[in-house]
Chain A
Amino acid sequence: MQVHRVSRQYVIRKLLIMIPSLLGISIVLFALLALAPGDPFDELATNPAVPPEVRAALRAKFGLDDPIWMRYWHWLIALLQGDWGFSFVSRMDVSTLILQRLPVTLVVIGASQILAIAIAIPVGVLAATRPYSLFDQIANTFAFIGFSLPTFFTGLVLILVFSIQLDWLPFVYRADISATGWEFYWEHIKQSIMPVTVLGLFQGAALVRFVRSSVLDVIRLDYVTTARSKGIGERKVITRHVVRTALIPVVTLVALQMPIVFSGAVVTEQIFRVPGIGSLLITSMLSNDTPVVMGVTFVSACLVVFFNLIADILYGWLDPRIAFR
């Protein structure tokens, strides 16, 4: 069957809406960080080797004593020119730091989301088409266990079993793998298995419940009875007429859960020592490295807004009633 084409105007409109939301987010983030206690130059203050006048000169150089709105304005202008500022601690450009860490996080989150969806859709649909069957009950039980257990717990259990007891998988994620060729990829896959599994199963468990109830809602609708009366067979009734509509709210949920996925990834990255932006965020927070914190949180915000855009586009593609409005 033909799919509906999303109009270009619709996409452009959604893209334009992103601009004010990102501006708003950056203002709130900047203000919060500026008002938060802690100063990147605290350390210098207690260091007797740095004279007070040098400290004052440094503060003036970085504009730390300017009013908030002026600092925000400088930050925004610099950002638009591609300058994200630099880290007070590591003396590196924030953009370089983020670009080093971001791919790892994206790979781990992306793979875990794919895993979650790949589990949730078939299991949820099968469970909904046989409500209260043995399969449904087993799926429900596992789903409950899955999203009741926090990732830091399941992560530690996996490490205990697969790294310490069985010694099959490494429990520290290393960015500096010296192997080349196939070996290189194999090492990467091996060290990604546990973080991806932990995140993916956690997300997947909640999604299974959601897909199931969404399919149950649709399966009762009149047009599904119409589809059955056409004699096209139960399989096509489910795949063509039920799943397609049932996925519309699932797309929203996946997109709206992206912030939760990111914060979940921060925790998981800590457990498995994945050198992603989650761990970068934590270390820079602990050292009051405001430019890095600002950069990382802003990148996460951008990603969340971006995933919402993707959801909007998918939405318009799945449901023809939307793009016409």
Chain B
Amino acid sequence: MAEPLLDIRGLKTWFKTDDGMVRAVDGVDLHIDRGETLGVVGESGCGKTVTARSVLKLIDMPPGRFEAGQILWQGRDLIPLSMEEMDKIRAKEIAIIFQEPMTSLNPVYTVGDQIAEVIALHQKLSRKQAIAGAAEMLRLVNIPNPQRRVHDYPHQFSGGMRQRVMIAMALSCQPKLLIADEPTTALDVTIQAQILELMQEMKERFGMAIMLITHAMGVVAETCQRVTVMYAGNVVEEASVEALFGDPRHPYTQGLIRSIPRVDRSAEKKQRLEAIAGTVPNLLEPPPGCRFAARCKFAMDVCTQAVPPLKEVGPGHYVRCVL
């Protein structure tokens, strides 16, 4: 098999706080191949965002620190790289867009300036050429009137339009990987669909891989090829979309899938939406065994003793569960 584009192995990103060490990411393995879309799902606080930011080393250190693991980008470990070396990878090879389009753009510069800043830097162009490039990117992400809008400030755009600007900025150097950290969570439902469609379109045009972080299982089913399910800083299941939705193995994944609202079913059977009882465990002192054990219907004694290993239950389908 060809070398994956990004291969995260046993990554541990911990944060030192006054109360102790928060193990936000505690041994995460995941990989992304060229041109594929990987969904990373899990509820709030499970370490999705920290994993994503770790890849670009956007974690404040201190209080954060890489405790262990490797982040192999095309075979090269990013963790020991200096910030100057990371700056050559950022935007040019790996780009990122965030959850909050309303606050992700600098309010005091025009969107054209902010996109041109990346283009001018990585493609060694003059400001004028870079602004023209920025307008071209705005046209690509379907912003009407790009020649004029390029001189507008972020507050003159709506949330959906700002996310388009963020995508234009992220793609302006044709990165090989786009990390999308809950790109649609803060948007209206209709706008969400448009943004996901746009990302799909851009993927086909530029052929990059996407790491789509989300907690919406519906979004995953629609856009991803493979899925990694995270829970409390661990990967609990990894599979192709078909395998995951057809045959979820981990009780947490099963719970997540059952918690998707189903318009067709609930109307007929008056079925109540199922929620997963309980809350995410404290990451300060995680329980010794399976982190999901406390909320798991099938928990046994063995579950609370040691973290079960990831085992292969089908081709490319891994699960961290003793069942």
Using CB atoms and an 8 Å cutoff, list the residues of chain A in contact with chain B. Answer: 1-2, 4, 221-223, 225-234, 240-241, 244-245, 318-321, 324
| Total residue contacts A-B, CB cutoff 8 A | 79
Closest residue to B121 on the A side, CB-wise? Answer: A232
Known: A1-B109, A245-B106. A233 touches B117 (CB 8 A): no
Q: Is B257 an interface residue, CB under 8 A from the partner?
A: no
Partner pick for B88 among A229, A231, A318, A319, CB 8 A cutoff: A231
**Could you say which residues of chain A place their CB within 8 Å of the CB of B226?**
none
**Could you say which residues of chain A place their CB within 8 Å of the CB of B53?**
225
Q: Is B9 an interface residue, CB under 8 A from the partner?
A: no
Q: List 17 A-B contacts (CB under 8 A).
A: A2-B110, A4-B108, A225-B58, A225-B98, A226-B98, A226-B169, A228-B90, A229-B96, A230-B118, A230-B169, A231-B91, A232-B118, A232-B121, A319-B107, A320-B108, A320-B155, A324-B155
Partner pick for A245 among B56, B90, B108, B113, CB 8 A cutoff: B108
Contact flags B75-104 to A (C-beta < 8 A → 1, else 0): 000000001101111111001101010011
Judge whether B90 and A244 touch: CB under 8 Å. Answer: no
Judge whether A222 and B113 touch: CB under 8 Å. Answer: no
Known: A228-B58, A231-B86, A245-B108. A222 touches B91 (CB 8 A): no
Known: A231-B121, A321-B155. A245 touches B91 (CB 8 A): no
Q: SS class of chain A's interface: helix, strand, loop or mixed?
A: helix
Judge whether A229 and B108 touch: CB under 8 Å. Answer: no
Nearest-neighbour CB distance to chain B for A191, whole angstroms, equals 42
Judge whether B117 and A318 touch: CB under 8 Å. Answer: no
Cα–Cα, bound, A233→B86 (Å): 9
Judge whether B58 and A227 touch: CB under 8 Å. Answer: no
Q: Is B122 an interface residue, CB under 8 A from the partner?
A: yes
Judge whether A226 and B113 touch: CB under 8 Å. Answer: no
Known: A2-B113, A320-B153. A230 touches B98 (CB 8 A): no
Cα–Cα, bound, A1→B110 (Å): 9
Nearest-neighbour CB distance to chain A for B45, whole angstroms, equals 18
Closest residue to B59 on the A side, CB-wise? Answer: A225
Partner pick for B90 among A223, A229, A319, A321, CB 8 A cutoff: A229
Judge whether B106 and A223 touch: CB under 8 Å. Answer: yes
**Could you say which residues of chain A place their CB within 8 Å of the CB of B121?**
230-232
Cα–Cα, bound, A321→B106 (Å): 11
Q: Is B105 an interface residue, CB under 8 A from the partner?
A: yes
**Could you say which residues of chain A place their CB within 8 Å of the CB of B153?**
4, 320-321
Judge whether A241 and B106 touch: CB under 8 Å. Answer: yes
**Could you say which residues of chain A place their CB within 8 Å of the CB of B58?**
225, 228-229
**Could you say which residues of chain B place their CB within 8 Å of the CB of A234?**
83
Cα–Cα, bound, A231→B169 (Å): 12
**Could you say which residues of chain B place their CB within 8 Å of the CB of A321?**
107, 153, 155
Cα–Cα, bound, A119→B121 (Å): 31
Nearest-neighbour CB distance to chain B for A132, whole angstroms, equals 9
The A-contacting residues of B in range 132-155, CB under 8 angstroms, are 153, 155
Judge whether B98 and A318 touch: CB under 8 Å. Answer: no
Closest residue to B153 on the A side, CB-wise? Answer: A320
Known: A1-B117, A245-B107, A318-B108. A231 touches B90 (CB 8 A): yes
**Could you say which residues of chain B place their CB within 8 Å of the CB of A241?**
106
Judge whether B89 and A319 touch: CB under 8 Å. Answer: no
Nearest-neighbour CB distance to chain B for A249, whole angstroms, equals 13
Judge whether B91 and A229 touch: CB under 8 Å. Answer: yes
**Could you say which residues of chain A place their CB within 8 Å of the CB of B113?**
1-2
**Could you say which residues of chain A place their CB within 8 Å of the CB of B84?**
233
Among A221, A226, A241, max chain B CB count under 10 A is at: A226
**Could you say which residues of chain A place their CB within 8 Å of the CB of B92?**
231
Cα–Cα, bound, A284→B6 (Å): 78
Known: A1-B113, A233-B84. A226 touches B95 (CB 8 A): no
**Could you say which residues of chain A place their CB within 8 Å of the CB of B86?**
231
Judge whether B103 and A223 touch: CB under 8 Å. Answer: yes
Partner pick for A232 among B89, B96, B105, B117, CB 8 A cutoff: B117
Partner pick for B106 among A227, A231, A318, CB 8 A cutoff: A227
**Could you say which residues of chain A place their CB within 8 Å of the CB of B98?**
222, 225-226
Contact flags B114-125 to A (C-beta < 8 A → 1, else 0): 000110011000
**Could you say which residues of chain A place their CB within 8 Å of the CB of B89?**
231
**Contacts A226-B106, A321-B107 given; 11 further ones with Cβ under 8 A?**
A4-B108, A221-B103, A222-B100, A229-B96, A230-B117, A231-B122, A232-B117, A233-B83, A318-B108, A320-B107, A320-B153
Closest residue to A242 on the B side, CB-wise? Answer: B106
Closest residue to B152 on the A side, CB-wise? Answer: A320
**Could you say which residues of chain B place their CB within 8 Å of the CB of A225?**
53, 58, 98, 104
Judge whether A319 and B96 touch: CB under 8 Å. Answer: no
Partner pick for B103 among A222, A227, A324, CB 8 A cutoff: A222
Cα–Cα, bound, A233→B84 (Å): 7
Judge whether B87 and A233 touch: CB under 8 Å. Answer: yes
Known: A2-B110, A319-B108. A231 touches B87 (CB 8 A): yes
